[in-house]
Amino acid sequence: PCRVGSLTDTGRLRLLPRTGRNRPERSARAARRSARVGSCTAGINRTTLPSPNDEPPGSITLPASIIFYLFRSANRLHHPYRPPLPHPDFFTAMPIRKIIHIDMDAFFASVEQRDNPSLRGRPIAVGYDGPRGVVATASYEARPYGVHSALSSVVAKRLCPELIFIPARFEVYRSVSQQIRAIFHEYTDLVEPLSLDEAFLDVTHTRSATLVAREIKSRILAETHLTASAGVSVNKMLAKIASDYRKPDGLFTIAPAQIDDFVAGLPVERFFGIGAVTAEKMHSLGIRTGADLRQWEESALVHHFGKAGHAYYGYARGIDDRPVTPNRIRKSLGAETTFAEDTDDRLQQELEGVRDEVWTRLQRHEFRGKTVVLKLKYDNFQQITRSRTLLTAIDSETQLARISEELLAAVDFHGRKVRLIGLTVGNTPEASADCIQLRFDF
Ligand code: TTP
Ligand code: MG
């Protein structure tokens, strides 16, 4: 196709001024057709995304939706079958969004190295160095040894004997978290925190999302002395993948023209929204990359993965319509594990593992809840739940341990084996404030 325009980074089509250099030779028919649709002629060059400053003098910009409408209108005149005109909403359709995902590098560990210079440049793990301890996170010096989040401390020490364990200081992490959130809010109100150290920002209204991301990174460094990585793209899924792509201290943009190739080569476990269990199921179906996933009909994905299949169909094409939601209210938080083999004698031990994970997540997400729910799935797939509600939110790991053990001890198994155990904390005191029981005085 001849080059008459290109997509700007605001998702608009830029038409080049019709100078001799960029006006291609065209057939008389093409020329006639273009006359009907004004200055808009043929193909859109999707391979270049020029920076805002290289706009040629005299060029005009039109929203891409208008251009597509003009193409379709022109086609209506030529085809015996005339496609219907688009719904009026088409014209007010959202421009291409600009989403940034920011994620601090080795967050807890970097804070510890920042505050204790003797730890800098050394392999450290934040977490409890006991027989049941797990690594919350590892410094980048420890990662080449295979030390990572959620790894048992014993295994971590075996992999990296010189690993230094540091106990977590959540109050410090929370205050850094508040600092970075304050920075995000200087650029947009549409900030959706995912945990203490990461957030999505919708900066569609700004001129260059990449410049904003770069600026936010330097502000974070200046104010917290910590590095963050940023990903920039047109939706949450791609922005999240992009922030991970050049870690640590990275900045990576997936521009609209690169989405197809990028997604095609991506292993399914890297998609934001496809968890470990789903990825494994996809592997068993022979789906390993975005390109494999793209081969599947939407109905087949729904057949295998339920409603989520619709979303996976979109992900394979780089489509993710989830909005950046500033006040996402979390109702509960939990963890569960499915055993490789059904069991009836390791439940106590498995419950401890799940509980550790739940406690870590409660801290990470600053979530508080008054209700603890124990979930069990038997070998015949029958599921039961047992719960207890307290007057105030769970405030210690010991308390969570005691309640979950009591709930488990009260279950009558009738000799059945168990295939899954899960623990959830819900019912935040703040959320239930508006349904306080009225007091009647007699
Ligand atoms: P992540 O952003 O997942 O990890 P990270 O910041 O340590 O490293 P990366 O550079 O790869 O982003 O999590 C943020 C913090 O949350 C992490 O520093 C510690 C805590 N965390 C846990 O406590 N348990 C976990 O399983 C994970 C994944 C994180
Ligand atoms: Mg991080």
Residue 23 has pLDDT above 80, yes or no: no
User: Which ligand 1 atom is the nearest neighbour of the CA of 248?
Assistant: 10
- Tell me which residue of 75, 64, 51 sits closest to 15, measured CA to CA: 64
Residue 310 has pLDDT above 80, yes or no: yes
Find the ligand nearest to 112 CA. Answer: 1
User: Which ligand 1 atom is the nearest neighbour of the CA of 140?
Assistant: 10
Q: How confident is the model at residue 215 (pLDDT cuts 50, 70, 90)?
A: very high
Residue 141 alpha carbon to ligand 1 centre in Å: 15
3-state secondary structure the chain: CCCCEEECCCCEEEECCCCCCCCCCCCHHHHHHHHHCCCCCCCCECCCCCCHHHCCCCCEEEEHHHHHHHHHHHHHHHCCCCCCCCCHHHHHCCCCCCEEEEEECCHHHHHHHHHCHHHCCCCEEEECCCCCCEEEEECCCCHHHCCCCCCEHHHHHHHCCCCEEECCCHHHHHHHHHHHHHHHHCCCCCEEEEECCEEEEECCCCCCHHHHHHHHHHHHHHHHCCCEEEEEECCHHHHHHHHHHCCCCCEEECCHHHHHHHHHCCEHHHCCCCCHHHHHHHHHCCCCEHHHHHCCCHHHHHHHHCCHHHHHHHHCCCCCCCCCCCCCCCCEEEEEEEEEEEECCCHHHHHHHHHHHHHHHHHHCCCCCCEEEEEEEECCCCEEEEEEECCCCCCCHHHHHHHHHHHHHCCCCCCCCEEEEEEEEECCCCHHHHHCCCCCCC
Q: Do 408 and 350 touch, CB atoms closer than 8 A? A: no
**Residue having the nearest C-alpha atom to atom 16 of ligand 1:** 364
What pLDDT is attached to residue 405? Answer: 95
Does the pTM of the predicted model rise above 0.75? no
Residue 147 alpha carbon to ligand 1 centre in Å: 12
Contacts 24+ apart (CB under 8 A), 346-351: 347/408, 347/418, 347/421, 348/405, 348/408, 350/421, 351/404, 351/405, 351/408, 351/421, 351/423
Among 103, 149, 363, say which to mutate for ligand 1: greatest number of ligand atoms within 8 Å of CB. Answer: 149
Work out the average pLDDT over 341-349: 89
* Residue numbers annotated as active site: 198
- pLDDT over 70 percentage in the chain: 75
What pLDDT is attached to residue 43? Answer: 33
Residue 126 alpha carbon to ligand 2 centre in Å: 13
How do beta strands 371-378 and 418-426 pair?
antiparallel
Residue 80 alpha carbon to ligand 2 centre in Å: 56
CB-ligand 1 contact for 364 (6 Å cutoff): yes
**Residue having the nearest C-alpha atom to atom 28 of ligand 1:** 149
| Residues within 5 A (CB) of ion ligand 2 | 103-104, 107, 197
CB-ligand 1 contact for 173 (6 Å cutoff): no
Q: What is the pLDDT of residues 76-100, one digit of tens each?
A: 455 545 545 544 444 445 569 999 9
Residue 37 alpha carbon to ligand 2 centre in Å: 50
Q: How confident is the model at residue 190 (pLDDT cuts 50, 70, 90)?
A: very high
Among 104, 105, 112, 137, say which to mutate for ligand 1: greatest number of ligand atoms within 8 Å of CB. Answer: 137
The answer to which of 48-57, 81-90, 165-174, 391-400 has the lowest mean pLDDT is 48-57
Residue 198 alpha carbon to ligand 2 centre in Å: 6
CA R_g for the chain: 27
Q: Do 200 and 188 touch, CB atoms closer than 8 A? A: no
CB-ligand 1 contact for 209 (6 Å cutoff): no
What is the token pair recorded at 376? 């069990």
How do beta strands 164-166 and 191-195 pair?
unpaired
Among 101, 103, 107, say which to mutate for ligand 1: greatest number of ligand atoms within 8 Å of CB. Answer: 107
